Amino acid sequence: MISDAMFWGVTVLLGIGTFLIRFSFMGFLGNRRMPEWLMLHLRYVAVGVFPALITPLVLWPDATGGQIDAAHLLGAAAAVAAGLWFSVAGAIFAGMGTLYAVQYLQSAF
C-alpha cells in the first residue's frame, strides 16, 4: 500500500496531465477550422479504436478463463450486423442484448 499523501499526489498530477493533454487539442485548436484532409482521417479514429477495444474481449474473455465462448461470438456478430444496417448505438444495444440473452439461455438450459 502507498501512503495517502503519495496517492493524492499521483492523483493530482495525473489529473493535471490529463487536463493538459486535452487542453492542448481543444483549447488551442477549438476555435480554428481544421483542414479537410485531417477531418477525413479523424472520421476513421472510432472505426479503428472500437474494434481494437472489443476484439480481445470477444476472443479471450476473462469470464470464461480465456476460452472462446459462443455467447461472445454471437453478441459480436449481432453488433457487427446492427452496425452495418443501423448505427453505433444500434450495434451496442444489439450486441449487449444478444450477449445477455444467449448467456441467460445457456444458464437456463
Predicted local distance difference test score (pLDDT) of residue 103: 93
Predicted local distance difference test score (pLDDT) of residue 33: 84
pTM of the predicted model, to two decimals?
Answer: 0.58
Low-confidence ranges of the chain (pLDDT < 50): none
How many other CB atoms are there within 10 angstroms of residue 83's CB atom? Answer: 18
